[in-house]
Amino acid sequence: MLKLKSLTKSSTVGIIAPASPESKDFIDNKIDIFKKLGFKIKKSEHLYDSYGYLAGNDKSRAEDLNSMFADKEVDAIVCLRGGYGSIRMAPYLDLKIIRNNPKIFCGYSDITLLLNYINRTCKFPTFHGPMITSNFSDIMTKEFFLKVLQNNSSKIQYDLKELCADNYITFNNKNFSGSIVGGNLSIICSTIGTPYEIDFKNNILLIEDINESPYAVDRMLSQLISCGKLQQSCGVLLGYFTDCINKPTDFSIEEIIRQKLVPLNIPIINGIPIGHDYPNITIPIGAQFEFFSDTNLLIQKKVLFKS
């Protein structure tokens, strides 16, 4: 795994829109807020583009990502938002450029596809974390974003019981270790059978989602089990299932977890603060971690950044 350059107060953050668009006024307002973190900003050429429900045509969005990786002035890339569109621009990525210019790449939701694809093909960690449109006024979201990306070559440690607070629930509780993969459940399922499929084998699967009825969450988990993917994982970390509610007679998300996941006898931790709610902590995709059930610590095994 290639090591990256960590962020400093003099770093330049490139901003791209690989998926859905936003209005210029909204983007500029969010960038002004993000600037308060202290970084220099570089906007991609097509950041303000709008093409139906996409932030510009597929080639333009891919060109922006390729250009930001190639740009020596840019130290990190943070996506504007998710929505939809990453899979449409992925075929136009220049993997040689990306592989030869490893740098921090951060986002979540629809960006799940890019996080995992870049990590798997280019062999450096990416980061499941907040985007430009996220709420950096949330203290823990801001603190973990800076802590993880400015960590000066130290190993990251997550005290899950402390982070998850009252939402912390474990099933099949035991130690496990592997590289973290995954993110948004809908995107994970949509990549099955494609070149962008996530590598489940002996890895720790991160899952979150939004605006999906419980039956849809059930269906997607059933798909991953039926095609033999989910049971290849060594552990599962469950984040927010935001607004995943329906009729009072429906199964709850926890009931679906008990029905579908617990029988797999894979260790499961529910209540990780990641996804479409706050706090939304930053977690490196592709980094190797080990979970210790006696201390509830998830500890990074290797340093991600250059000293």
| Helix spans in the chain (H) | 24-35, 58-70, 86-89, 95-100, 112-122, 139-149, 160-164, 185-190, 214-226, 253-260
Residue 98 lies in a domain: yes
293 plus 201 within the same structural domain = yes
Q: Which of 67, 208, 212, 233 is catalytic?
A: 208
53 plus 110 within the same structural domain = yes
289 plus 165 within the same structural domain = yes
pLDDT per residue as tens digits for the range 80-107: 999 999 999 999 999 999 999 999 999 9
Residue 128 lies in a domain: yes
* pLDDT at res. 307: 77
Return the residue matching tokens 């969005």: 61
pLDDT per residue as tens digits for the range 244-289: 987 888 899 999 999 999 999 999 999 999 999 999 999 999 999 9
239 plus 161 within the same structural domain = yes
170 plus 267 within the same structural domain = yes
45 is catalytic: no
* pLDDT at res. 296: 95
**Quick one: tokens of 236?**
């599962």
**Quick one: tokens of 224?**
């991953």
Residue 187 lies in a domain: yes
Domain final residue pick, 149, 176, 199: 149
Can you give the CATH number for the domain in which 142 is found? 3.40.50.10740
pLDDT band per the 50, 70, 90 thresholds, residue 185? very high
96 plus 168 within the same structural domain = no
Distance in angstroms (rounded) separating the CA atoms of residues 98 and 93: 8
182 plus 142 within the same structural domain = no
222 plus 296 within the same structural domain = yes
50 is catalytic: no
CA-derived radius of gyration, the chain: 18
188 plus 281 within the same structural domain = yes
Nearest to 54 by CA among 28, 76, 82: 82
By residue range, what is the domain housing residue 257? 157-300
Residue 3 lies in a domain: no
Q: Which of 6, 11, 20, 109 is catalytic?
A: 109
Q: What is the pTM of this model?
A: 0.97
Domain count, the chain: 2
Instruction: Give the largest Cα separation in the chain, rounded.
Output: 55
Give the 3-state secondary structure of residue 293: coil
* pLDDT at res. 251: 93
183 plus 165 within the same structural domain = yes
Give the 3-state secondary structure of residue 17: coil
